[in-house]
Structure 1
């Protein structure tokens, strides 16, 4: 926004004598971004009493209210519009609706739109439509956006690229991805803004696979993605562990096509760390001439995910020395890093510093991290006490952290309390029911198992199938539990049989959970997906090559032990990224040190 002119400059000008001259000055001020002065001029017009505001005066005053986010003043202007009989003027009506949208008064905007439908005609154009939907940013706003979309089709403006892009962006911001997708593929023409909006929409809603599909489609059409699109692509590579695609994007960026872009550098740090290449993430970080809080958060979080809490702590302390003030996000990263590395006292120290040294009120996510921190250390009573003393009501994530800690330390009584609390917040989350059922199974409490399964049936809950995937020669190979659909199925199962024979010689079978084996036989469950992924990797990669597996759920204890022993008998390194962290398996050991 341009700097407003001094108030005295208005008083030094001659008072306009006609409506046109008032409107001309008002328009010029609004165009220059002098919104405060524009509203002061409008007030002078009202006080002068002659002439009265006309229909073509109101849009500039309403635009100024919208720019300054002054909905109450805008509502007063609305009453002036009604008094002047200008509410049916399409330009005034558009300005009113746009003002309410931008001030987040969507209900008012929709009421106006429904009660005073704009007439199809020459007065309605792309500029008119573009003013209607920018304020639609949350799911409930999509209904108003859909009304505008219908009107766009009625006006024949649906083929206008700028209008279609505006509608697409609106649907994405409202989380209506299916509507955005339909609009995208119905568009006769797509510009770079269109592709960016769709990629960003997929990425923001966690739809990583469609992002990469769209990226490949752009490439096949010869469309060069810009930094906005590439940030979304890198984020999706990070979510999927798609190292090959991420490397390709990194090469595009490093070619210098985009110059030095801080957002892309931060995205590259995150992508490499989450795809298992922590050394490359650190190299990018160290080479950056300018590091923002986002840069520090990304690298600290990366070391935390890989269980290297000591280095994460060193980086956090170094960041503080550079004078960068931490925010809530970086505290989540360092608390999580301490939890994954078993640095309990260090993590508690950081938690206490949030409010005392930095004036940050710990939120639910910070409390969840500390509950996890205490729980993993076996300090369950302290974790429970922290929850009960929280200044805000704990949510499902906080109680879920306590439930997970109870599973590690086999505290069924406290687990029952946590379970009953957590399902009040997240009754649909199947993971909590499975966790509680497994605890009852370990405690040989079959009545408890029955109760949980009855609850699951009554709520029509089904366990999420475990899946793992491996990237090989640019393609992602997906494996489900008991999968037999892959072309190399027979070779993979023969490989697993050989591996089981080798690890049994090291005592694997005796160390596994007999109750789990019985349950898997009874329920017809097959080989866990991560074992299939490991077998595929061993069959298709050269000796000494690291194998990266991405898994959607937390790795179970039996598979964790199995992969540790396999890493020893075949002399290979495996990296498993499960739902909570990275596990680096080498020489019969895991980097997590049993903190997972």
Structure 2
């Protein structure tokens, strides 16, 4: 019977499984532990958890062994029934049934959300007490639990305590760091993994490529790409999708498109990644062409694709087309827009200067607008220096998200742009009162496999003297161009704090360390300011370099004194 029941489980045939269950009852074998376990697992894996519990409850307590409890706990966990899994575990302890590593492997996955971390830590303590923690599979499950719940330090501590680390342990850490945004830690751990002699698999490489995409670490990403080719992993659609994202976020759209075209059967993630890539680079028209091609291929778009489509329209100034897609989303595809879609449309209208229409849209929303929606309106108010509407948006956004320092900084900048000294003082006082600190601006440049980080006014780099000398030379050239009358903006001497913005330092470093004709990729954590945007445009006219700058909003491609965004960002 167990073999036949397992076959029904593997083939997802619950009806056949129920027929077998009837035969089990007729034969009188329903209390045999292995038959019970097979039935419980079969029902759980077919989604019939209540049936599994019925089998469990109808069995005499004296016949219920640990394997029966383990099967149902695992079933509850797999069906996202955390409360039921925990309740059954408590009953297991109360009735004196022995807990083992299998129990923990079934139960720990339900504790991967921050709300259940305390329970997970209690389970970890119980494992230490019972001596179950020595099992590598159990240790790996706890590492995964800590990383998924955001407790990366606890995950790393446990990882370091493992004497002989296997591939699963390394993957748990690398994936966990990648999911929590610790990109530099991913690359550091990847190097250690290679040194230890453990060979990466597709799971490892997805995490590493995600880190490369975040950091703009192009050369490391290219090394991983060669490894994927050499190991025959190119057929792995998850890896290909990650390669699309990595190349797009590292500024190489041609490479991203080449991988996209190689995928024989593209899933929704493939299309979303490529459409998003075009949108990020300001090539909205190409993104929309690809979306229409996706629809013609028979693949039904989902909400995530529409976020990319609307965002692409916003970054490319395609206001009317964006509104048409927003209407089609509900009318043609029966998808209910969420806050993220409304946020995109508010941004779309706001960038186009239609602030009143953006506000009307927010007030007519059938769902409660969240902070991203009001934040989009606030950002649009900065572009168009509309203080009155900015004050309204700011008031609403800090009611919803009072601890997000970015909104206070944005409002302060709006006041600063409009020379409203009183407004700036008011926001700064609010920030001091609440002990808020502005996120420091920083920029990355990758050179020879090393990521170089620059902060505002940074003087810690080994090439600091040469970098500042280069900046002085560039600014002298730009002032001369301004004196000749070709650029009014260039005649203004920026304050010293602006002269030392992180992206300028990164640009100067890039020029010093590359040959003429090279392309320099700079990754910035904040939106590039207007003055730095003008500066980089002028530098691209003076030196024989192409500059690709990825800021918090989009990509800017600078060449021969012009930017791909056409000053629309």
1:584 and 2:557 matched: yes
Mapped to 2, the partners of 1:526 and 1:569 lie a distance apart of 17
Match of 1:180 in 2: 155
The equivalent position to 1:274 in structure 2, one of 242, 246, 249, is 249
2:27 to 16, 21, 27: 16
Question: Is 2:542 the counterpart of 1:575?
Answer: no
Task: Report the Cα offset of residue 251 of structure 1.
Answer: 0.4
Residues 278 and 287, structure 2, Cα contact 8 Å, conserved in 1 = yes
Superposed CA RMSD:
2.7
Equivalenced residues, count: 555
1:287 positional shift: 2.7
**Distance (whole Å) between structure 2 residues aligned to residue 161 and residue 385 of structure 1:** 57
Measure how far apart 1:189 and its partner are: 2.2
Corresponding residue for residue 508 of structure 2: 535
* Structure-to-structure mapping, 1:259-298, within 5 angstroms: 260-298=235-273
User: Greater CA deviation, 319-328 or 552-561?
Assistant: 319-328
Residue 485 (structure 1) aligned with residue 460 (structure 2): yes
TM-score, with length taken from structure 2: 0.91
Q: Is the 8 A contact 2:36 2:68 kept in 1?
A: no
- Whether contact under 8 Å (1:512, 1:558) holds in the other structure is no
Displacement, 1:16? 3.0
**Structure 2: how far apart are the matches of 1:166 and 1:65?**
24
Q: Which of 466, 469, 490 does residue 444 from structure 2 map onto?
A: 469
Residue 211 of structure 1: aligned partner: 186
Q: For residue 371 of structure 1, what is the aligned residue in structure 2?
A: 346
Select 2:215's aligned residue among 222, 228, 240.
Answer: 240
In the alignment, is the contact (CA less than 8 A) between 1:354 and 1:360 conserved in 2? yes
Question: Which residue is equivalent to 2:82?
Answer: 106
Shift of 1:113: 4.8
Helix, strand or coil: the match of 1:195? helix
Structure 2: how far apart are the matches of 1:206 and 1:243? Answer: 17
Q: Distance in 2 between matches of 1:504 and 1:148?
A: 66
Contact 2:70 2:102 in 1 (8 A): no
Is 1:511–2:489 an aligned residue pair? Answer: yes
**C-alpha separation in 2, matches of 1:259 and 1:469:** 29
Structure 2 matches for 1:555-570, cutoff 5 A? 555-570=528-543
Closer/same/farther in 2, CA of residues 119 and 145 from structure 1, 3 Å limit: farther
- 1:187-206 equivalences under 5 Å are 187-206=162-181
Check whether the contact 2:405–2:438 (CA below 8 A) recurs between aligned residues: yes
Contact 2:253 2:277 in 1 (8 A): yes
- Tell me the CA shift for residue 511 of structure 1: 2.3
Task: Check 1:92–1:222 CA distance in 2 against 1; reply closer, same or farther (3 A cut).
Answer: closer
Q: Structure 2 CA distance, aligned partners of 1:365 and 1:146?
A: 34
Does the Cα contact within 8 Å between 1:387 and 1:398 map onto a contact in 2? yes
TM alignment of 1:427-506, pairs within 5 A = 427-506=402-481
Give the equivalent residue in structure 1 for 2:6.
none
Q: Alpha-carbon deviation of 1:87?
A: 11
- Relative to 1, partners in 2 of residues 1:581 and 1:89: Cα closer, same or farther, differing over 3 Å? same
CA distance in 2, matches of 1:376, 1:359: 27
Structure 1 position 571, deviation (Å): 3.1
SS of residue paired to 1:172: helix
Contact 2:482/2:491, CA 8 A, preserved across alignment: no
Give the SS at the match of 1:477.
strand
Q: Structure 1 residues 76 and 260 mapped into 2: Cα distance closer, same or farther (>3 Å)? A: closer
For the residue of structure 1 that corresponds to 2:157, the secondary structure is: helix
Q: Is the contact between residue 527 and residue 553 of structure 2 (CA under 8 Å) also seen in structure 1? A: yes
Query: C-alpha separation between the residues in 2 aligned to 1:321 and 1:88?
Result: 55
